[in-house]
Every structure is written in C-alpha cells, then in structure tokens.
Amino acid sequence: MGQEFLKIKDPEDAEDIISTLPILKKVEKVSLVEAYRRVLAEDVYATIDLPPFRRAAMDGYALKSKDTFNTSEDNPAQLKLLDVVTAGKIPQMKVEHGACIEVSTGAPIPEGADAVVMIEYAEKEDDYVSVLESVPLNANITAQGSDVKEGELLLEEGERITADKIGVLSAIAMQLVPVYTQPKVAVISTGNEIIKHQEKLDYAKIYDINSYTLSNAVKACGCIPIHSEIVKDDYNSLKNAILKFKDADIIITSGGTSAGTGDNLKVVLDELGDVLIHGIAVKPGKPTIVGLIKTNSVNHQIIFGLPGYPVSALMIFHIFVAPFLRKMACIGENEVERNIKQYKLSRRYIPSRGRKQYLLVKIKDGQAHPILKDSGAITSLAEADGYFIIPKNVEMIEQGTLVDVYSLDN
C-alpha cells in the first residue's frame, strides 16, 4: 500500500494552476441595506446633480453681494429681512437690493441672492440685519451640481461597498445595487471517525471541526458556505455527497486525502472530472487535491480536497484556496495586504528540510513566537495569530529576524 502522488506540485506551480482555474462572474441586484460589504458589479453614474439645487453652505443671510461692498464693523450695511428659509423649505420671496433672507445650512438660495453672509458676521434687530463685512460673490453658496454633475462617474465596478460608499449610493437614492453574486461553497468533512456535536463521544471518535472552521473562513472570503453533513470516508458516500451539491460553485472537502484512507476523493474525481493537483510539496498540508468537475457544457465545479488535520486544513485553505475564493467573489487583492505585518522572531528556528513551510506564530510582546506543535493540535489554533512562510532551502532562521506574519483572520 502507500499513496502515489502522481501530480505532486511545488507550491508555486500549485498557485499558478489554481490562479488559472475558470471563474464565472455572476451579477445580481440587492437592496441598499443588503449591499454593505458586497462588491459593485457595474460603474455607478450620478442620476442627479449633487447637490440637486443651489443651497446655503452656512447658516446666514442670503443677499446681493454688491450691497455689502465696502462694509465693515464700523460701517455695516443695513438690509431689510424679508423672510426666513430653513432647510427643506421652498423660498417664497426674491432678494431685492437692500434686502436679505435668512437661510439655514442646506436651505435653497432664494432667487436674486448671490452670496450668503455667515450669522457670525451679521446682527439682527427687528426686521433689519446689519452686515459687518464685505461678502464676495457666491460666498457660502454651494452651486447645483458643484459636487457631482448628473452623468458623472461616482463609483467604479469592483469597489467594495463600505459605509462611506453606501453614502454615495444613498445620495442618488439607488435602491437596487448591482453586485457580484457571492460564490456558493459546499463544505464537507469526511472521515469515519468524525461525529456531529450533538452525538455522544464514543471511543475512537472525534467531533467535527473542519466544517465549522472552513465554513467561517469561507464567509471571510465573501462567499456563502453551505455547511454539509459529515460524510463517511468511502467511495460511494463521497461521490453521492459531491453529486448532491450540484448548485455549489466550489466544493471543499477535508480529510480522506492522506494515505491509508484509500484516497477516495482522487478516485471519485478521476471518474467525475479531472484531478489537477494531487499533493503539494508544503508543510503542513502535503495531501491536498485540486480538481474540476464539468457540470454542463459551460460550467465547472472546482473541488479542493484539504487534509483532515484542522490546522493543516485551515492553513492550506488560507494559502491556496482563500485567494481563489476572494478572486471569485471579486474582492480586490488590496484588501488582503493590510493583514500582513512584520515582527521579529522570538527565537532561533530550524525548519524541516525539503519542503516550503508555513509556521504558525503567536504575537506576544511585539514578537512572533513559533508554535511548535504538530498539526493535530487544536491548541495551536487557539494560540495562533498568524503564520509566516519559510522557503524550501532555508537551514536556519536566526532569533530577531524580521518575518512577514500573515493574519489567519482573512
């Protein structure tokens, strides 16, 4: 016995293969409330001028600027107060020479006025206002369309709709927002030893971990997880489970890929589709499978078979699967960058030879402390803040070396 990895790949080649997998972008329309954190699928143009009318930028008095020519505190201009226009009200009167109309911030500028003096520079007494400074033409007036003209580009396809972008869409009252459809990802835990959380923990069994960690990691990539039942590690169970998820864009399995398990996923994929990668030369996570199932003449389902150990599964997910899911969900790579931070290594570390390695670390006292547990250890997940990459042929990393730590939280 023993497993043959016929298509074992270097990690760089595996990344290349995964990055060229076919992606089908779908678009849907959602309400503005649902649009938060989604990715815009079309450019958005202004359907109205912003602001939609000429308005006051400050609380004050709308007037003719000429009437304030040469005025000062010692020589104020006396203007007759005709009316008051608050925000939301339509002005009923015109500003004539020698007169003014009180306006509040956001109120429309009455006809005839060409400037607003701020209340701080004016004094009201009965029906008259003394203007204490000379007011330039257009002062404190925001012209219609001065921010955006109808037809102008507001937001671009591919932008993530954050709270501030929601504000832009609100300004033009966009009620249905075109966004990229979130890919559906079926998450399957395989293994005869895996049981549901509701079950009694009999000897030889362990509780399901991977479907929970991976479902949530899938969410963090902007995809929708379909949390499946646990699947027995035999050919028929696995094949039936995969066929059940015909609607999923992607299927992620964990377990059932290491030697001694019969390598069922490979056998199933050989029958239903293509095995593209069978083994990646990394630590942890060597027994990783990537495959493709043709569901009809245009569509493919992509399958990632991850190792069964929770740490290995989550690491391989982060390194090889997450970038692909984010790409499929149309999330820009720029969003990931901020989750890399440099730390000094707390101690000397001697990597295992021959494979590129991803080492979990805990950040403490501003240093990256390697977590030296095997990938079966759950506590390494509890402690880990991230990981760094050790290239294939490094013999030793000195204490104090600056390493790029990738957050596990994305």
Residues 69-108 that bind a second copy (CB under 8 A): 86-90, 102-108
CB of 310 to a second copy, least distance (A): 5
Question: Residues 237-256: x/- map of binding to a second copy (CB under 8 A)?
Answer: --------------------
Q: Which is nearer to a second copy, 192 or 401 (CB)?
A: 192
Question: How far is Cα 307 from Cα 256, in angstroms, rounded to an integer?
Answer: 7
Question: How far is Cα 129 from Cα 118, in angstroms, rounded to an integer?
Answer: 12
The region of 68-76, 162-170, 291-299, 393-401 touching a second copy under the rule CB under 8 A is 162-170
Q: Which is nearer to a second copy, 189 or 293 (CB)?
A: 189
Q: Which is nearer to a second copy, 134 or 140 (CB)?
A: 140
Angle CA 151–152–158, to nearest 5: 115
Question: How far is Cα 388 from Cα 341, in angstroms, rounded to an integer?
Answer: 10
Question: Residues 316-355: x/- map of binding to a second copy (CB under 8 A)?
Answer: ----------------------xx-x--------------
**Closest of 16, 8, 15, 43 to residue 27, by C-alpha:** 43
Question: How far is Cα 288 from Cα 308, in angstroms, rounded to an integer?
Answer: 10
Q: Does 67 bind a second copy (CB under 8 A)?
A: no
Q: Which of 11, 51, 351, 370 binds a second copy (CB under 8 A)?
A: 51
The region of 51-59, 65-73, 290-298, 347-355 touching a second copy under the rule CB under 8 A is 51-59
Backbone φ and ψ of 316, nearest 5°: -60, -40
Q: Residue written as tokens 């600027």? A: 65
CB of 26 to a second copy, least distance (A): 24
Q: Does 40 bind a second copy (CB under 8 A)?
A: no
Q: Does 138 bind a second copy (CB under 8 A)?
A: no
Q: Which is nearer to a second copy, 333 or 395 (CB)?
A: 333
* 8 alpha-carbon distance from chain centroid: 32
Q: Does 4 bind a second copy (CB under 8 A)?
A: no
Q: Does 366 bind a second copy (CB under 8 A)?
A: no
Spatial contact of 21 and 131, defined as CB atoms under 8 Å apart: no
Backbone φ and ψ of 308, nearest 5°: -85, -30
Q: Does 168 bind a second copy (CB under 8 A)?
A: yes
Residue 147 one-letter amino acid? D
Q: Which residues, at least 6 apart from 337, have a Cβ–Cβ distance to it below 8 Å? A: none
Beta bridge pairs of residue 349: 397
Q: Which is nearer to a second copy, 302 or 314 (CB)?
A: 314
Q: Does 409 bind a second copy (CB under 8 A)?
A: yes
Q: Does 147 bind a second copy (CB under 8 A)?
A: yes
Q: Which of 19, 72, 78, 216 binds a second copy (CB under 8 A)?
A: 216
Q: Which residues, at least 6 apart from 360, have a Cβ–Cβ distance to it below 8 Å? A: 311, 315, 370, 371, 380, 383, 384, 386, 387
Question: How far is Cα 263 from Cα 173, in angstroms, rounded to an integer?
Answer: 54
Q: Which is nearer to a second copy, 194 or 277 (CB)?
A: 194
Q: Does 370 bind a second copy (CB under 8 A)?
A: no
Helix runs in 223-299, H state only: 235-244, 264-272
Question: Residues 117-136: x/- map of binding to a second copy (CB under 8 A)?
Answer: --xx---x------------
